[in-house]
A and B are shown apart, each in its own frame.
Chain A
Amino acid sequence: MQTRTEIGYNSKVEGDVVVTRLDAAINWFRKNSLWPMPMGLACCAIELMAAGASRFDIARFGAEVMRFSPRQSDVMIVAGTVTYKMALAVKRIYDQMAEPKWVIAMGACASTGGMYRSYAVLQGVDNILPVDVYVAGCPPRPEALLDALIKLQSQVATEPVLSTWKTVS
């Protein structure tokens, strides 16, 4: 006979009460349900799609709900070359996302312009958006994007929530 031990939350021990700070709870909700805005602009978008598909499965980190509406997105993944022609459109979509929101610059182009030292390419999306995580690579492997997501999750987990509300009111 095989015995099975329940891993994680044990209702018999803890009852119906979990003690935590509200900040920690809210951040826990947020970081495990980061809905991405897939800003796919070049070949990095192919790796982004791979990260979303079964082999790499971004759903394991709660970020599988790719939203093509900025109103429903939490994290913009800028995957690809940002040309000057596209730059203000990217900015506008970011502006339309509801707070709180984060940005991952995926790959060399989105981070710095990459190999495109050119009249036509914005030299890094951080010229127009506040970037939280940069991912190296041309294009990065899906594992690298997942690593960036995990890093972003750990950043989200430490962000103050209620304390910022207090200062506003």
Chain B
Amino acid sequence: MEDGELRTIGDSQTAKNTVAPIDLAKQLETRFGELLSEPAEFRNEITIKVSDAERIPEVCDFAKKDLGFDYLTDISSLDNYGDDPRFTLVYHLYGYGHHCHLRLKTDVSEEKSEAPTVTGIWRTADWHEREIYDMMGIRFRGHPDLRRILMWEGYPYFPLRKDFPLAGRPSDLPEVAFTAPAPMAGGPFVTIAGGKDTISREPRVRIPDTDSLGMNARVERRKDIQQSHGRAHGPGPVESRQPNG
């Protein structure tokens, strides 16, 4: 079946004017040339890499005004920990007129940790960019109100970065909020930035990287337990429960 047929069901308007996503991508390429990578197509969705993050608003503006991508579905961010540039921003675009998806990717280095805002193009970018700032620590230049959105103002970390432990880190902001590391008990879903992935470290249980939390003694104790029992499992350490605020 043609991909175009799928999109036209129950929509007489687009039945007449079917637009293939790849055609839109080619228009982008004609306009911006070397700035864009070769479009990659997967399941009728196009992904294009933009080599310069500074020109993202320009590309987005063209995509919206000339190519009809009137809806910004989401902006997401990746932490390619250990690589340079460290971060990748992903803009998910959609057009209600032609029902096409387009994905724009661009890299942001850790030293810079900044990209221009696209709130001037889609107002909905406001909260998406705030979430990325809150979780990943990438600032958006020109954003009208760049505050944290999930965590509170004054929280000192960016928790979705790969080098941030899942258990969290202790913090205390009097009268506002405090945090304490959660007891992970050697759970199988704990990962370390730069460590082995779950496939290469079967069995999946591993000792959490607790050094950063000042718990070396506990790691040593767990090693002893493992040696004496010959297994990696075991009851996890119980965190002391201290009211902290």
Which A residues fall within an 8 A CB radius of B? Answer: 84-85, 87-88, 91, 113, 116-121, 123-124, 126-128
Contacts and interface: CB of A to CB of B under 8 A. Distances in A.
A85 B245 CA distance: 12
B152 to A, nearest CB: 6
13 contacts: A85-B152, A91-B245, A113-B182, A117-B182, A117-B184, A117-B185, A119-B168, A120-B151, A120-B159, A123-B180, A123-B183, A124-B241, A126-B241
A13 B183 CA distance: 61
A146 B88 CA distance: 50
Contacts of A91: 245
A124 B245 CA distance: 14
B243 A84 contact: no
B40 interface: no
A85 B151 contact: yes
B176 to A, nearest CB: 7
A88 B171 CA distance: 14
Interface in B17-31: none
B178 interface: yes
B177 A119 contact: no
Given A117-B167, A128-B245, A85 B159 contact: no
Given A85-B152, A87-B245, A124-B241, A119 B176 contact: no
A119 B166 contact: yes
Interface string B162-189: 0011111100000111111111110100
